[in-house]
Amino acid sequence: MQQINPPQLREWLDDNARTPPVLLDVREAWELERAALEGSVWMPMREVPARLAELDPAAEVVVVCHHGVRSFHIARFLEQQGFGRVYNLSSGVEGWARQVDPSMQTY
């Protein structure tokens, strides 16, 4: 699994020559209501094993949570399930709000 920081992810999302990743948000619903990355796929951490078939193992997946800890565990789990192009958003949406989008609500 690779780590990606918020500015690197912003650069990737802004690069029209590159296929955007699947942004897999593994936070709880109440967290998503406060702050979310546009275009994210929401799948709470506890549901990922049961919903694994909804994800494409060949896709580039960036796993997102609040600070990057839950997403790290899910990214590692995805790799163990055969996903080969998985990234963990280090510092999570908190880092995104502080480093990329200061208008995003923090909590």
- The DSSP 8-state label assigned to residue 67 in this structure reads S
Q: How many CA atoms lie within 13 A of 46 on its CB side?
A: 2
Question: Alpha-carbon distance 99 to 79, whole Å?
Answer: 27
Helix-strand-coil split of the chain, %, nearest 5: 40, 15, 40
Q: For residue 38, what is the enclosing H or E element?
A: none
Provide the β-strand partners of residue 55.
none
Q: Which of 36, 61, 64, 65 is catalytic?
A: 65
Q: Residue 13: what residue type? A: L
Q: Is 65 a catalytic residue?
A: yes
**Residues involved in catalysis:** 65
